[in-house]
Copies of this chain bind each other. A is one copy, B any other.
Amino acid sequence: MNGELMAAEMAEQPDVLARVTARAPADAEAVRAVVPRPLAGVVFLARGSSDNAAVFGRYLAELRAGRPAGLAAPSLYTRYHATVDWRGYLVVALSQSGATPEIISTCQAVRAGGAVVLGITNEPDSPLADAVDVLLSTDAGPERAVPATKTVTAQLALLVTVTSALRAGAADATPGAAGETADAVSDAPDGGTLDGLRGAVAGVLGDPGPVERLADRWRGLDRLVVAGRGLAYAAALETALKVKETTGILAEGISTADLLHGPIAAVYAGAPVLLVDGGGPADTDLDELRALLASRRAHVASLPVPPGLPEAVHVIAAITRGQQLSYELARARHVNPDAPAHLSKVTATT
């Protein structure tokens, strides 16, 4: 037992993502049936890897719904017992297990405050089912390796569907606030941006050479900065988390803009930087950063993804690359990525 579970679950992703793609029309319809109109805003609620999927959803939701989106702060409900008027809001709660206590109790609190709550889980019979208005399943099959892989990319694919459904409705509710906006991410009709996803992810999984070489070069790291912007910011955060979980390397995901701003000083102290591009309009910052880092002779690498993909598909493929790098780094360091020390599968934060 040395990474077989994680490898097997990563390898299931093309099939899992094909199923999510096939269900997209029905899932979008389920979202349209409950989304509040007029829509005041969209808020994502999650922890861990699901919280990185939430970052991806937050960008897409604001672009497509044409209303502000954001991330929930669960401690406001579990610790401060805040009383908040959530009327008009759609809250999207993501939990692989559907059993994280603070996610359940925060769902209950925002729903009591008037929010419509959409749950996304890999366990449709979990407690999350009773705390939401509608539940969508990632349907990825049992996940046994501690580092989540197939459930994360399935969450992102589902969020492409969910946010597509917001766009269609938003065009009716707020004339002039859709259209051009949504096209910045995709010209395709609702759900269409999932086209090509299965092939892109299968292509990455079938070509591990680039990250095997990178993992060999970086096997001795004790820290790493992972940078991206826009939709790719989510891929940077998730890759950093996955590297942490599988290897113990102190990897930090960061926005390219923040890295250009202040904390970059830390880079000069010798931390290598992994750049994650999104194949979209936010990549201009990466070019600037790459030039700056080169002039400082920092150790820099990129997560290679084939060009020409729609941005959302590109980012999901980049996350698969990041999983692959984490797996290979763990193997190169003789760590078992299936069950990193002291990590348990179900989040118990309350």
Q: Footprint of B on A, CB under 8 Å?
A: 40-41, 43, 47-49, 51, 58-59, 62-63, 66-76, 79-86, 88-89, 102, 174, 176-181, 184-185, 222-223, 225, 229-230, 233, 241, 244-245, 248-252, 255, 257-258, 260-266, 268-271, 280-282, 284-285, 296, 340-343, 347-349
Contacts and interface: CB of A to CB of B under 8 A. Distances in A.
A340 B265 contact: yes
Give the one of A63, A70, A179 with max B CB within 10 A.
A70
Contact of A262 (B244, B258, B266): B244
Determine how many copies of this chain the complex contains: 2
Contacts of A347: 261-262
B265 A250 contact: no
A307 to B, nearest CB: 18
Contacts of A47: 257-258, 261
A46 to B, nearest CB: 11
B75 A89 contact: no
Contacts of A255: 75
A262 B245 contact: yes
B180 A83 contact: yes
Lowest 10 CB-CB distances: which A-B pairs, in order? A70-B70, A248-B269, A83-B181, A79-B282, A80-B184, A257-B349, A79-B281, A244-B263, A85-B177, A85-B174
